[in-house]
Structure 1
Amino acid sequence: MQLIEKYNIPVPRYTSYPTVPYWNSTSFSEEQFKAGIRDTEEGISLYIHLPFCESLCTYCGCNKYITVNHGYESPYIDTLLKEWQLYRALFKYPPKIREVHLGGGTPTFFSASHLSHLLQAIFSSCEIMPDAAMSFEGHPNNTTLEHLQTLYALGFRRLSLGIQDFDPVVQKVINRVQPFCTVEKVVREARRIGYTSINFDLIYGLPLQTSESISSTITQVMQLYPERIAFYSYAHVPWIKGNGQRLFSEKDLPKDAAKRALYELGRSMLQEYFYEEIGMDHFALPDDELNLARQNGSLHRNFMGYTVTHTSLLIGLGVSAISDTGHAYAQNEKQLALYRQRVQEGNLPLFRGHILSREDRLLRQHIEELMCYHETRWYKVPECLPRLEEMEREGLVYIEPGRLTVTEKGTPFIRNICMAFDAHLWRNLPQKTLFSSGI
């Protein structure tokens, strides 16, 4: 109880280091960023942000546009293809694609024919590697058989469905009503077609959520037995996301120990069904690639989350998408009109960026190792070591010469442990709330 109260403070999720609020955009150089867009034998990762949704899910913190006007589809895809051509011109040879992920928003807001046009146009100027990993996010209410068949024919084998909670009361308050039978239909069709990996996103800490709703949800999930489960903490950040997260009262949210108890309940149930915990918030069956990657040391974490493939170049297409060259980050314009305008003018639609220093790259490695494997090693004692000594006394970490290991007791506080390494944050402590709470 005391540890939960102590460490339930605003803390980054560390999908990158430095975290976006600490990027130094004033010294960002677009030319240095472009220099990292290069031919590589290992292949590249491609993230495509498709931001439109027909309705607002009130828990959502993604960059999205709410509309029922599907007339946005074609112009947006035309802009994506123009943006891709700007990147394609930076390569001497056809780039090798090793990983593709369609995120949102709701990618299945777009028709199957529009998605096919987008992807075929991109793929026609690339080489698709034999082991390419392709995945997309789908909304159970609008992921059609045509979506599944079309994307499968293009090489997609992984599907991620946003479930969150099956309890009707919770679904209503978060404006995400999708009955079990709808999800079941999509899953069974995907497996019949040949999809080999299905992920369910679940969230704990949602308004009006109880131990009974968590237990019932996971019991229903187990009827479909997805290969992977992402079991996220609800991030309540209305100061960032506006009125969408103010459609319910603060008193409706489980807090601190009560919220953590929901996670522990879900975690124990998943382990009873033989799921193994991966990094932070993720679970996978023993023979799933994600679990095998953790065991053989090839698990990585980037802006797309946990991945079994590692590429030094990630290109993000679309409004608000983030690219990573290994030595630089760049984020696209977050406003749709500005994004389209910049692309139409023939410019990369970059909004901000950061050139990583040598220290940044070293600390990024430590944080990624902690997030993937719960341990990290060093040759030179890091300056953060004094910040970890109290955590060691509390039994959260074990420190030995050249190595730090997160204990089982410390696993719930992995974000706090990573924050000890965050030199940018400690040198410039925020004067206002920037991040969601750690628990």
Structure 2
Amino acid sequence: MKTVSPRLLQKYNVPAPRYTSYPTVPLWADDLNENGWIGLMKKAYEDFGPTEGVTLYIHLPYCESLCTYCGCNKRITKNHAVETPYITSILNEWDAYLKIIDDQPKLAGIHLGGGTPTFFSPESLKELLSFILESSVLMSNAELSFEGHPNNTTREHLQTLFDLGFKRVSYGIQDFDLAVQKAIHRIQPFERVKEATEVAREIGYDSVNFDLIYGLPHQTLETIENTFKQVSLLKPDRIAFYSYAHLPAAFPAQKSFEQFLPLESEKRVLYEKGKVQLAAMGYHEIGMDHFALSNDPLYAAKENKTLHRNFMGYTTSPSKILIGLGNSSISDVYYAYAQNTKEIDLYKEQISLKHFAISKGHIMSKEDIETRELILNLICNQKATWNFCYYSLLGKKNWDKLKVFKEEGLIEFDSKGIEVFEAGLPFIRNICMVFDLRMQEKEEAKFGFSKAI
């Protein structure tokens, strides 16, 4: 089993952004007001909307119980009376975007995330989505997907969403070992996951994704092996195999199990073990944390160099416009980013007052746009051309860092561009940081990123 050099692992396992955006959220300039957002959103749709459409991310934040590993924005409640007022706020927010676009927007995709989207009843989800779909034009290649908890994703959920056009479901599995599940407070038996997967396929879903995590408490090589043996019995079309991000200062519930976490050196071995098993099962590595079977569109996009990355991870959608609806959701309209307020009640109040609920934002400079393109090309395609004068902008310190990566056999670069070798893939976030001039202007340590490896 090929493993990462312990020396390089120790050297580069430092806090680093995941680069679902550039600049990364903690480094936004916070220079965006509501009028500016409306203007840039309108410009983006005029420039890209008619050809590429709009992708929607809808944040549904409620969960009935707390998964202690979770770093998402969520609210724990068993009170389902919260569903209707929250959906009303989302529909009002979407209506405000319709007024900006001043037309029926073309939709390239919808993704429901959370929280637990299947906390909401099928009837509530149908009410929400029917309005959005009726007020839009769904593109022929649109992809509609949602995140489901195996324990509460019912046949009715799956059928209702399928009837609305959803063809991909992503189940949060994390790990099948009972000791791990107990530690992270997410107990879901294999038989329940099997049922949720088989029902989705029976109804007609053409893509099932499993989210798995390495670095969780009580995980060992044996438990990882057993988990993937069970995964192989269900053979999901895609697998996201994430590194657990331990940030107890931000998420105090993580303190409950931190004494049972694997050592950092052990954590990478867990990933390598899982990666070997995935390859043996026929999965291809797409990029950071993502794997897909040969017949999956994500693999085709990887091979065709059309892979894209945004706040939802790797995607086949070419859309440059991502609108986030709901509390804490993030929008990316190419010329600017905006994030809604994280607090649910404040979000609903601001929407009710006919304002966008934006809490922070960032207007992209020309340098930002070109740096983002370079970083996305590295993360998606492992190569990029210099798209502006990096020779003067990077400075000697950063060129020296690139030279070290080259000497270590991780990359190659010349006057035209840069390529990341297979040996450099575990360190792709570290390599991208060389081009992150905004972060270098600040104190890197204060932003609370998870470790790179």
Quickly name the TM-score band, shorter chain normalised: over 0.9
Deviation, 1:99, is 0.7
Instruction: Report matched runs for 1:29-428 at 5 Å.
Output: 29-35=33-39, 36-37=41-42, 38-39=45-46, 40-41=49-50, 42-241=52-251, 243-249=252-258, 251-382=259-390, 383=394, 384-428=398-442
1:307 and 1:431 map into 2 onto residues whose CA distance is 30
- Give the corresponding residue for 2:3: none
Q: In structure 1, give the amino acid aligned to 2:434.
A: A
1:386 and 1:310 map into 2 onto residues whose CA distance is 34
Q: For 1:150, what is the secondary structure of its paired residue?
A: helix
1:78 and 1:193 map into 2 onto residues whose CA distance is 29
The answer (yes or no) to whether the contact 2:34–2:356 under 8 Å persists in 1 is no
Q: Which stretch shifts more, 382-391 or 16-25?
A: 382-391
1:231 and 1:401 map into 2 onto residues whose CA distance is 35
Deviation, 1:368, is 0.6
1:256 and 1:374 map into 2 onto residues whose CA distance is 25
Deviation, 1:377, is 1.1
The answer (yes or no) to whether the contact 1:137–1:161 under 8 Å persists in 2 is yes
Q: For 2:368, what is the secondary structure of its paired residue?
A: helix
The answer (yes or no) to whether the contact 2:370–2:387 under 8 Å persists in 1 is no
> TM-score, normalized by length of structure 2?
0.94
Alignment deviations for residues 268-292 of structure 1 (CA, whole Å, 9 cap, x no partner): 1000111000011000001100000
Alignment deviations for residues 137-170 of structure 1 (CA, whole Å, 9 cap, x no partner): 0000000000000000000000000000000000
Deviation, 1:380, is 4.2
Q: For 2:418, what is the secondary structure of its paired residue?
A: strand
Deviation, 1:431, is 4.7
1:368 and 1:6 map into 2 onto residues whose CA distance is 24
The answer (yes or no) to whether the contact 1:227–1:285 under 8 Å persists in 2 is yes
Alignment deviations for residues 278-318 of structure 1 (CA, whole Å, 9 cap, x no partner): 01100000110000011112110001111101112111000
Aligned length: 436
Deviation, 1:381, is 4.7
The answer (yes or no) to whether the contact 1:62–1:105 under 8 Å persists in 2 is yes
2:409 and 2:320 map into 1 onto residues whose CA distance is 35
The answer (yes or no) to whether the contact 1:16–1:364 under 8 Å persists in 2 is yes
Q: For 1:223, what is the secondary structure of its paired residue?
A: helix
Alignment deviations for residues 294-353 of structure 1 (CA, whole Å, 9 cap, x no partner): 111211000111110111211100000001110100000110111011001010110000
Consecutive unaligned residues in structure 1, runs of 5 or more: none
Q: In structure 1, give the amino acid aligned to 2:22.
A: Y
2:387 and 2:174 map into 1 onto residues whose CA distance is 42
The answer (yes or no) to whether the contact 1:74–1:114 under 8 Å persists in 2 is yes
Consecutive unaligned residues in structure 2, runs of 5 or more: 1-5
2:311 and 2:358 map into 1 onto residues whose CA distance is 16
Structure with greater proportional helix content: 2
Deviation, 1:438, is 1.1
Deviation, 1:46, is 0.5
Deviation, 1:256, is 2.2
The answer (yes or no) to whether the contact 1:33–1:325 under 8 Å persists in 2 is no
Q: Does 2:18 match 1:5?
A: no
Alignment deviations for residues 382-424 of structure 1 (CA, whole Å, 9 cap, x no partner): 2143321111111111122312111121111111111111111
> Cα gap change, 1:221/1:385 in structure 2, threshold over 3 Å: closer, same or farther?
same
Q: In structure 1, give the amino acid aligned to 2:168.
A: R
2:321 and 2:83 map into 1 onto residues whose CA distance is 27
Q: For 2:224, what is the secondary structure of its paired residue?
A: helix
Q: In structure 2, give the amino acid aligned to 1:174.
A: I
Alignment deviations for residues 13-52 of structure 1 (CA, whole Å, 9 cap, x no partner): 1110000110001x22332321223352121000000000
The answer (yes or no) to whether the contact 2:374–2:387 under 8 Å persists in 1 is no
2:224 and 2:162 map into 1 onto residues whose CA distance is 32
Q: In structure 1, give the amino acid aligned to 2:345.
A: A
Q: Does 2:446 match 1:432?
A: yes
The answer (yes or no) to whether the contact 2:90–2:326 under 8 Å persists in 1 is yes
The CA RMSD measured in Å over matched residues stands at: 1.1
> Cα gap change, 1:262/1:289 in structure 2, threshold over 3 Å: closer, same or farther?
same
2:264 and 2:419 map into 1 onto residues whose CA distance is 25
Q: In structure 2, give the amino acid aligned to 1:23.
A: W
